Structure 1
């Protein structure tokens, strides 16, 4: 029988967290689902061990490291559910996570994408994110990241959903081209949400749908060079790709200023190497970004003003990583 939801987990060197993730998914109160585990050629043996412990999981071996974006796309193409739920292999869903998201899909049947409340696994009193935010400077961030969990919050609009714990209509995801595989990993979820915005499709955050995420900095450690490199490169590409022409020229000074301030912060922390390589790779690949821009802007059906209203223009929101949830219309 065709399940209502296909839960997709893309793994790469995920270690013992993967088994915990799958165990939490099998405890979901909403049982009309399948679980697809796509492994990007891990060498730690964790995917094989996890599948042995959870034989009901559909196991797909990519054969090489496709990256998160292409991994999700391949799994989505194999999925049988009308909805796909994405969750990171180091994120652990509360038992009612999927049920809560599916109830939201019934409450707002016109909405095609939903985000979750992410708490830090080692400190559940702090947020890992409550929807993604896009600043007027063209810098995306996870709302509330590392801040105190605000407690009960009403559902509302966010700029985009975090790919670490989201629900999206499968046919819509595939029709929009899925994640941009040129990004490999990092910012592919923001890019997808931005492309949704360009055609007038909103994203709702459902704060009652909770996962607990380990992440690279959940214990206060520095982000890896891999993450900083791809985050820096992809942030530039997404800005150039998705920002409508009028907003691009209006916000370019802000984007350049914010980039300079961020690099000063990196330099003060003696971690300039990775972001510099990311920036140089982004500039070197401008042809990639511009080709992607032509594709994205050709789909746009809404005004620059509509896009601007979905952003935050308060600089403190960016620098303090505040939660920004707009009231439902």
Structure 2
């Protein structure tokens, strides 16, 4: 039987397990977005209802455990900014782009935040320079960049949607740093996740309502919250995405607290390893050139950062 203090002897295990778990469901999430577009779900509707559903799930779990977040000016600021920059905007960009550049490419771009996060953390004094850790980040980013460059070399790639997709990792990196720098004192990870999801869901629903009102008499809205009900697929996909978001953001804040912003940013690299093969095997996308080499580099990078003693406070 495992001793209760067993994990104290292996402080890297909780961050690593959280990293692999959150990265895996993130890789699944990008592919669900492509499936949703294929059944007529608008990206905003798919994201808004999935995020809102996840907020309800994690909020209900928190209520049952008497671990709901405190709501005050400080935490409200935290939830709104982290929900906007770290969730609503980057995910909406990725979900809107997935039908134009493919789920595989979207999965690759969410592997780019490590370098941006690392540089930001170094600049702000949140991270001290350690060669092994830096080498791991560079290797992981290098693997993702290799796959991305080879993808861009393919014909018929839409530059606008490529650029829009590449904005997502920059926002995610900013969110990684913000959440660590402004972590509310005394707050536990499982208390913060439902608050951020609720704020992001509220923002997305408000955008949809405002857009629908504005365009109601002008030819229709390009941001629809409507869910097709002629068949079950849209609702089932929203429920599946709700489940992935619930698992991902529960682990997300544990990873943020135990691993720090740079280690957290590596979950995009894990998502690329998971998401690209799913897109190839199940969605019929062409395998990216250099996939094997890119995955090897990403794997070694994650390993080096793990061995580099991630933050365990």
TM-score (norm 2): 0.29
1 or 2, which has the higher helix percentage? 2
Name which structure has the greater RCO, CA cutoff 8 Å, separation 6+: 2
Higher strand residue share: 1
